[in-house]
Structure 1
Amino acid sequence: MIIDEGVRGRTVLLAGGTSAAGRASTRALTAAGAHVVVVGSNRQRLARLAAEMPDLAIERCDLTAADEVDALRDRVHSARGGVDGILHLVGGWRGGGGLAGQSDDDFAFLLRSLTALRHVSRAFDADLRASDAGRLAIVSSTAVERPLAGGANYAAVKAASEAWVRAVAQGYTKHARDAGRSATAAAVIFRVTSLEGLEDALAASVVALWDDDATAWNDVVIDIEPPG
């Protein structure tokens, strides 16, 4: 069943969209009438998603490589003419062992999420600013507010990702002000303790980003919590 939503007809790119949260968001956005482009790097996961949703636009790309992201942008432009939204789901967890357990290898693994966010948000920045309803959203963690020694690497990368998105939000505001018009783009932070069991709640929150104007969402942190 197609639901009439503000996201109808929009092109939304899911960066790292082969996870359970990515599949839930893909289903919700597609049901709401959006055109979804799922981007991932794992061939097997992409193949399973293609088998599950044969009409879905799927792109393989290493989002930590700037040249590959630029090439991805060019392909999306050729196929869709640009994007109206990005949901950044590149992530993962490594931690434990107190502060002594915060290894450089784990930090490097976690840092890939921030690197991908930087590349994708810069490559598609002009698209989101040009759209009459551009949206950038990331999934962060409550660990930013309540960091633990055993998750110091993780919390630090999530905090840096939030800072990046807040800077993007300020850029959207400045761009609109300099152009003498109201802002149409918004950058949003979703926070969860864990995404497990909240995939559908996240998906619904993503769809809702197009139901209000940009000023309602820009530089906003939204906590997604278990029901009850």
Structure 2
Amino acid sequence: MTDLSGATGKLVVVAGGTSAAGQAVTRALLSAGARVVVVGSDAGRLATLRQDAAPAAELLSTELCDLTDEAAVAELAGRIHAVHGSVDGLIHLVGGWRGGGGLAGQTDEDFRFLERSLTALRHVSRAFLEDLSASPAGRLAIVSSTAVARPLAGGANYAAVKAASEAWARAVAQGFAKAARDAGTPLAAASVIFRVTTLSGLEDTLAGAVVDLWRGDPGALNDTVIDLSESARAQP
């Protein structure tokens, strides 16, 4: 049965969660009563996040992991399962920006740096796919860019990686839908793409949208693109 009771009690992994956006998402999920595991690559930032979340410390755990290392991600999933159980949500916030200089400035070095976010998405989504598919309210969400719809020469590397990430998230959505059809059960999991022009100033908007994922019908949410920049402009 589909669970639309909200984020309370759900186990949510926030990948790349030490950024300003990750901190906002973590705070919002904790306030909604979710159990949150924040994964990052900087031990100092993870420690600061734990200190700042002191009022809800019992709901928060942190994990140090290089999400581009497939073996390390498999070990991470094993630790989370052993300590916390099955995962209900995966919020992928691994990102970064490099660009400029037109097409001539789109270096292989910059592309490989940006590609790390896609690699991390592939690893963590596969590691927790079974959990999300089995959950009564499984949710996967990524943050993409409006540049996918209107790529510029100076951001071609960035737009290409974001487009690939969206394709991966949509493939996950198709997998969720097919699994439900094959089992003859209502769709309970959803894969969602959030697009922004920039996350700066939209951290709280993103955080609210993430919490709302557990209030929405998965059939309406699955395989959707939500433009948070447009939503923010529409607000009075």
TM-score by length of 1: 0.96
Secondary structure of the structure 1 residue equivalent to 2:29:
helix
**2:177 alignment partner in structure 1:** 173
* Residues in 1 aligned to 2:233 and 2:61: alpha-carbon distance in whole angstroms: 32
Aligned mate of 2:217, from 200, 213, 217:
213
Aligned mate of 1:105, from 104, 109, 118:
109
**1:185 alignment partner in structure 2:** 189
CA contact (8 A) 1:15 1:38 kept: yes
| Bigger shift: residues 68-77 or 45-54 | 45-54
* Residues in 1 aligned to 2:51 and 2:27: alpha-carbon distance in whole angstroms: 14
**1:152 alignment partner in structure 2:** 156
* Residues in 1 aligned to 2:130 and 2:146: alpha-carbon distance in whole angstroms: 30
CA contact (8 A) 1:133 1:213 kept: no
Q: Deviations over 1:36-82 (max 9, x none)?
A: 11000112211221222242200000000011111111111011111
| Counterpart check, 1:53 vs 2:57 | no
Q: Deviations over 1:117-168 (max 9, x none)?
A: 0000000000000000000000000000010000000000000000000000
CA contact (8 A) 2:192 2:224 kept: yes
Taking every aligned residue pair, what percent have the same amino acid on both sides?
Answer: 67
**2:127 alignment partner in structure 1:** 123
| Larger helix fraction of residues | 2
- Unaligned residue ranges in structure 2 (runs of 5+): none
What one-letter code is carried by the residue in structure 1 that aligns with 2:52?
Answer: E
| Bigger shift: residues 209-218 or 127-136 | 209-218
**2:138 alignment partner in structure 1:** 134
Q: Deviations over 1:169-203 (max 9, x none)?
A: 00000011111111111000000000000000000
* Residues in 2 aligned to 1:87 and 1:108: alpha-carbon distance in whole angstroms: 22
Q: Which runs of 4+ in 1 moved over 4 A?
A: none
Task: Report the count of equivalent residues.
Answer: 224
* Residues in 2 aligned to 1:125 and 1:102: alpha-carbon distance in whole angstroms: 33
Root-mean-square deviation (CA, aligned residues, Å) is: 0.9
Secondary structure of the structure 2 residue equivalent to 1:13:
strand
